[in-house]
Structure 1
Amino acid sequence: MGTTAQLGTGWRLGELAARPGTPSGERLAAGRHEFGDGLLQVPAGDGPVPLVVLFHGAGSNPERVLAVMKDRPALVYAPKSGARTWDAIHGNFGPDVEALDRSLAELFEHFEVSRAAIAGFSDGASYALSLGLVNGTLFEHVVAFSPGFVVPGARAGKPEVFVSHGRQDGVLPIEATSRRIVPALRIVGYRVDYREFTGGHEVPPSVADAAFRRIV
C-alpha cells in the first residue's frame, strides 16, 4: 500500500499531507508525461529517485520552467498554477496547495522517492520558499531563483535553502527581495546558500548547476 494520509486538512495553511512510502502502482516510463495539473519528467532507470517539485513564474507554464532541469537524473513534477500565478502570491494558500497534495499522493503510488526538494523561479520561487518552509519535514531542500518574498506561517523542519538573484534584476529588484529574505532566514536558523550574480531576472546555467548539485 502506498502513502496516503487524509488530504486537504491543512491546505489552507500550506500543509501537504502526502508522504513517500512503498509504491503500490507501476512505475511510469521514462520521458515526459502529463500528470495532475502539470508535467512530470521521469528519468531512465529503476529504483529510488530524488524528486524535485518545480514552480513556474507568473504567466509562465510547466514546460518553460522545466528547462532549468535540463537532463538531470531526477523525477521532476512541474504543476500549473490554477490562475495566472500561485494562490498565496496575492492572498492565502488555497486550491493550488490542494491540487499539489493530490498529485503528490498519486505520484508516490508510482515512485519510490529517496529525497524531495521544492524549487521555483520568480513568483514560483516565492511559492517554493513559502511552501518549503511550511513542509520542511517533506522537503530536505528548498531552491528559490529570484524570489520576491516569503508568505508568513508556521514552520516545520529545517530544510537547506538555496537562493539566487541577479544584481540587475528589474522585475524583482534584489535590494527589496533576496537581500532582505536571506538575512531573515539566517537569523531564525536556516542554512542558506546565497548566490548573487551579474545579470537580470533569469537563471544562469551555472547557478542552476550549483543549486541542484547536492540534490540530484
Structure 2
Amino acid sequence: MLTTRIIVLACAAFLIAASAEDRGILSAQPTASALTLAAGETRLPDGSLAYRPSQLPPGPRPLLVILHGYGQDPAQFTRSFKHWADRCGALLVGPVAKDVTWDVIATSRELDTRRTRPSLAPTRFGEDARRIDRDLAALFASAPIDPKRIALLGFSDGASYSLSLGLANPQLFSWVIAFSPGFALWPKHVSLGQKIFIAHGTHDTRLPFEATRDDIVKPLRAAGVEVQFRSFDGDHVLVRPIVQESLRLAFGC
C-alpha cells in the first residue's frame, strides 16, 4: 500500500512539474496564410512529408496528420492516402519518428502496456513531439488550414502516439483516429468536444484487442468522450473500409 501511494504521489508530482513540451502540448496553430506550399510532395524542415494536391478549392483546407507504426516506411504510409487527399482537397503531413518508433513508446517499453495512464516519470514526450510541432508550424505558414478540420491518424505504435498526442492537444486535433493501438497516455483533463475513432482486430497477435477495448475505449467513454469503436475479425492490419469510414466521419469525404 505504501509503495502504491509513493508511485501515485510521484506520478502526480511529475504531471504538475512537467513542462508543456514534456506533456506533449503543441504550440503550432493554423493562421490565415497564403498558399505557398508547392503542389505534390515537400519535405518539411524536421523531415515530415507534406502532400498538396495539384487542384485545390479556394479557402482553408482540411489536414490529415499521419503517424507511422514501428519500423513502418513513413513515406509509403503517407502516400497511401494521396488518392483520398486528391478527392477531398485535403493536405497530408506524415511526420517521421527520430528512431524506429515514437519517443513516448520507446520510454514506455518497460512498463505494462495495458496501463492507460503514465505510472513512471520517464514516460513523457520528447524530441518527436517537438519535431512534429515545428513541422506543423512550417506547414501552417505555407498553407491555409481549416482549424476545425484537422485530424491525427496513426497505426500500431503510431496509433498509441496519435491517441497520446491527440488527447493532449484537443485545441488542435478535432479528431483522433487510431488503428490497433497498444495504449494511450492520458492528459490531466480530456476534452469532451474531441472525437475519437478506434479500430482493432479481435485476433491481433501483436497488440491485444482486449487492452484497447477495456483500457482505452471504456475509460474514454466513461469520461464522456465520444468514441467510435470498430472491432473486426482480423490480426494487426489496416482494413480499408474501416479506414475509409473513419475519414468520412472526420472530414465528410
Alignment correspondent of 1:4? none
Distance 1:39 1:155 in 2: 31
Partner-residue secondary structure (3-state), 1:209:
helix
Within a 5 Å distance, the mapping from 1:25-40 to structure 2 comes to 26-35=35-44, 36-40=46-50
- Asked if residue 99 in structure 1 is aligned to residue 131 in structure 2, the reply is yes
1:67 CA displacement: 4.8
- 1:62-101 to structure 2, matched below 5 A, reads 62-72=74-84, 73=88, 74-91=90-107, 92-101=124-133
**Which one has the largest radius of gyration?**
2
- 2:174 corresponds to which of 135, 140, 151: 140
Superposition map of 1:189-208 within 5 A: 189-208=224-243
Which structure has the highest helix share of the two?
2
Is residue 219 of structure 2 the alignment partner of residue 184 of structure 1? yes
Contact preservation (8 Å) 2:48, 2:135: no
Q: What is aligned with 2:209?
A: 174
Distance 1:121 1:68 in 2: 13
- Contact conserved, 2:51 with 2:82, CA < 8 A, in 1? no
Residues 195, 225 of structure 2: 8 Å contact kept: yes
**What runs of 5+ residues in structure 2 fail to find an aligned partner?**
1-18, 108-123
Q: Counterparts of 1:29 and 1:155 in 2: how far apart (Å)? A: 38
Q: Assess if the C-alpha contact under 8 Å between 1:50 and 1:215 holds in 2.
A: no
- Does the CA contact (< 8 Å) of 2:69 and 2:101 recur in 1? yes
Cα pair 1:49 1:75 within 8 Å, conserved: yes
Displacement of 1:90 after TM fit?
2.7
CA 1:146–1:67 in 2, change beyond 3 Å: closer, same or farther? farther
CA distance in 1, matches of 2:41, 2:213: 32
User: Deviation of residue 49 (structure 1)?
Assistant: 0.8
Equivalent residue, structure 1, for 2:59: 47
1:163 to partner: Cα distance: 0.1
1:146–1:165 contact (8 Å) kept in structure 2: yes
Provide the rounded CA distance (Å) in 1 between the counterparts of 2:80 and 2:177.
12
Residue number in structure 2 paired with 1:22 = 32
Question: CA–CA distance in 1 between the matches of 2:245 and 2:235?
Answer: 18
What corresponds to 2:164 in structure 1?
130
Instruction: Give CA deviations for 1:7-63 in whole Å, capped at 9, x if unaligned.
Output: xx721110001111111x542232222223121111221421111111000111312
Partner of 2:20: 10
Q: Is the 8 A contact 1:137 1:156 kept in 2?
A: no
SS in 2 for 1:15: coil
Matching residue's letter, 1:27 = T
Aligned equivalents of 1:210, 1:103: Cα separation in 2: 27
Which amino acid in structure 2 is aligned with residue 136 of structure 1? P
Percent identical among aligned pairs is 39
Q: Which runs of 5+ in 1 are unaligned?
A: 1-8
Amino acid aligned to 1:86: W
Give the TM-score taking structure 1 as reference length. Answer: 0.90
